[in-house]
Structure 1
Amino acid sequence: MSSWKKAAKANQKTHRERHQPATRKHLGLLEKKKDYKKRADDYHEKGETLKLLRKRTLDKNPDEFYFHMINSRVKDGVHHEVEKEDEFTSEQIKLMQTQDIKYINMKRTIESRRINRLQSQLHMTEIADSTPNTHVFFVDEGEEKTFDLAKRLDTHPSLLGRKSNRPRLSDLDKLALPEIDEQTVQTMKKKREQTYKEITKRIEREKELTVIQQKMELKRHLQDAKVLKPKKVKRGTKVSAPVYEFPYVRKK
């Protein structure tokens, strides 16, 4: 080694890791890099051991188990096949094979916005009026029998069941109602029913797209699992995605 390299090495400053501050001594020893290195090596070594043991377990005695053991049952001495419910519908399979998750998310967002727009047009007045009111009026003692709700609200008795569009008597006197024949009323009623049917179909469509999106996201996460495979907690159906329990993986 040349003299100038020796001189440079002799003048090199030694960098040391700081100790635990006095105000944090109650938290224990401050972990140094060498301590972290030992813990990280031990963690990865255990992970590789578990991976190897899992592989040996799967490769051991492959002829000892076959799926017909769990796919059939014996009833009255006769074997019966266990019928499994299909996890995917034909529409779900078609979309999952031909489209990506971004397309599914876009279509679900479009359906959600259309549902909100149709509901805002109808205001859902019939559904709102179907639920009972919970408004409480306080009256003096002895006035319960003579209390007139229509008079208190200053409206017509036939409008008491409404939660919206309940005008006062003074407004009813000034209100000029247009002349509407029975055919127009039936047409409006039919159009409203068609709108409610469309909302129902779009809600079902949005639910189906949500299930497809959940299944595709779960499939992507299962492909990312490398060391330890997740445990299936609940089997998926046509209307719900399967549920997996993913093991905790310590990040570097």
Structure 2
Amino acid sequence: MSSLRNAVKRRTHKERAQPGERRKYGLLEKHKDYVLRAKDFHRKEQTLQNLREKAASRNPDEFYFKMISSNIIGGIHRPKSEAKQYTHEELQLMKTQDIKYVLNKAQAEKKKVERLQATLHSTDQQPGNTHLYFAEDGEEAKKLRLTMFCKTEAVSKATLPKRIKKARDASYRELRERAERFEKLSNVITTMGLQRELMGKGRKRKLRENEITVPSELPVYKWRRERKK
């Protein structure tokens, strides 16, 4: 019973808060805060001691190849920022390789788009009897085509299960995203091809808007004719 009595009478001792006259100094540091600060201080002190020992026992004749490829800036070794200078032919070759890589990606996207289109086209075809309708003129033919399309869509929505509808919508969404990606890659290929041509030899100038016959989003250049030797 004594243990139970002690448990009932036990108080929760709280640490002292910051006095009112010292409130301007912020929160009073608790013991757990002191422990963390002391551990951090001793860790830094030990790191500095290890560095002092390494510096004292360093071999003055040691050599590393990084001493050549780096500079000391503010007491810290930093690599030299000397970029490799490529020749004009090397830059053209790199641009060609980049175009080939993007072209391969665009062709892969195009094949996936065609495969999805074929799959969705075969999925959307509704089996059943085929009816032949006759129209007097083009206007009536348009109305018949619109009516039949609405009926087909209504039948497909009514007969297709929810799981198949969800999968079909996901396929259409993927088809749309891949088509947009293929279009972007095609634009990138056109831009990179233009940049590669501009790196080539020959005098050229950029045409003004009133000189362009076919509107284009990209700038249009005209090369000067040169006689081939």
Normalization by structure 1: what TM-score? 0.36
Normalization by structure 2: what TM-score? 0.39
Larger radius of gyration: 2
In terms of fraction of residues, the more helix-rich structure is 2
Which has the bigger relative contact order, CA under 8 A and spacing at least 6? Answer: 1
